[in-house]
């Protein structure tokens, strides 16, 4: 089990906030660009 601090992070290009890897993004982490649906629709 990994600690939260050891998980990969990215920065959302819309809100410029860092967001952390989630289990549901496990297979598509390379394609994830936005932290939320709201930011994706604002892009």
Work out the number of other CB atoms within 10 angstroms of the CB of residue 28.
8
* pLDDT score of 43: 86
* pLDDT score of 1: 74
* Contact indicator for 29, 8 with CB cutoff of 8 Å: yes
Task: Write down the domain spans for the chain.
Answer: 4-42
* Contact indicator for 19, 9 with CB cutoff of 8 Å: yes
* Contact indicator for 35, 12 with CB cutoff of 8 Å: yes
* Contact indicator for 14, 42 with CB cutoff of 8 Å: yes
* pLDDT score of 5: 82
* pLDDT score of 26: 94
For the chain (length 43 residues), average pLDDT per consecutive 10? 86 97 95 96 92
């Amino acid at each position: 089990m990994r600690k939260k601090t050891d998980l990969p992070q990215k920065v959302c290009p819309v809100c410029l906030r860092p967001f952390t890897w989630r289990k549901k993004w496990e297979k598509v982490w390379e394609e994830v660009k936005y932290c939320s649906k709201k930011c994706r629709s604002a892009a």
